Amino acid sequence: MGWFFTVLLLFIASFANACDRCIFQSKAAHYYEDAPTSYGGACGYGNLGLEMSQGYFAAAVPSLFREGMGCGACYQVRCKNATLCNTMGTKVTLTDKNSDNRTDFVVSKKAFTAMALKGKSQELLKTGIVDMEYKRIPCEYNKNLSIQVVEWSHKPYYMAIKLLYQGGQTDITAVYIAAQDGSGEGRYMRRNYGPIWETNNVPGGAIKLVVIVVSGYNNGRGIVIDYALPAGWKNGEIYDTGIQIKDIASEYCNPWRCGEEPWK
């Protein structure tokens, strides 16, 4: 019963950030160098950030980064300069935190130039900062949700895991860890930062996880991952859960809530 109420509170807390389908107006800049510190960034993805985003990565302001909960979220962004920019824009994956309040996003050069009209890429880059609009969209991967055991884990006393390829339009608000065979007491992991969760109470043997996923105004759900990690888990290894997350936000964005009409 206590477990149920804890999850319920997590669901309710998520509603405040729910208006994911609305268009927001802001500005965007671009990285001058696409390096591991940018595509790995504050989310700690490292080189995997480049693979996950296919080079279309971004840093976002604290209100979108949300102390790391926003890591891995996908956004459609498009600039508004009709002489330089196309009407479709491009998709970016959030991998870093932007502390410069002049823009909501700093995006990779690849993403920035993808917003340009044909033959206008270099001219758009020279602008440095552009007016833009954005909305959150579902992430789509050709891979299952995966778990990487972080390098600084220390078996059997401490474990940190990194969740990768989180699909859909979702937030992971909690991770529950337990022994697969039911021995011992399960417990919630702590968010270290971004997609990294940790615990000092490491179950013995194979490990079972329950990932709590919420999406917009959806009530959320717990995804049970049996044998998420084998008994012989190793630091740095990536384990395929065999599960894909495809939940999307279900709410309608009223103008009184977001100040914009839904993306058309």
Q: Where are the alpha helices (DSSP H) in the chain?
A: 2-14, 36-39, 47-53, 62-65, 109-114, 121-127, 255-258
Task: Supply the pLDDT for residue 127.
Answer: 96
Instruction: Give the model confidence (pLDDT) of 233-258 as tens digits.
Output: 999 999 999 999 988 766 555 544 44
* CA 110 remoteness from chain centre: 19
For residues 139 and 246, give the distance between their C-alpha atoms in angstroms, rounded to a whole number.
8
Structure token digits, residue 194: 């971004």
For residues 181 and 14, give the distance between their C-alpha atoms in angstroms, rounded to a whole number.
32
For residues 38 and 31, give the distance between their C-alpha atoms in angstroms, rounded to a whole number.
8
Task: Supply the pLDDT for residue 247.
Answer: 84
Closest among 191, 226, 187, 182 to 208, alpha carbons compared: 226
pTM of the complete model: 0.85
The per-residue DSSP string of 135-198 comes to: EEE-B--SS--EEEE-TT-BTTTBEEEEEE---BS-EEEEEEEEETT--S--EEPEEEETTEEE
Closest among 128, 118, 54 to 86, alpha carbons compared: 118
Instruction: Give the model confidence (pLDDT) of 70-106 as tens digits.
Output: 999 999 999 999 999 999 999 999 999 999 889 999 9
Token pair 């079972």: residue: 208
Query: Mean pLDDT in runs of 10 for the chain (264 residues)?
Result: 41 44 90 67 89 94 93 96 96 94 94 97 96 95 95 96 94 95 94 94 96 78 96 97 86 49 49
Task: Supply the pLDDT for residue 22.
Answer: 83
Complete edge-to-edge strand list for the sheet that includes strand 221-229: 187-188, 171-179, 207-214, 221-229
For residues 59 and 62, give the distance between their C-alpha atoms in angstroms, rounded to a whole number.
10
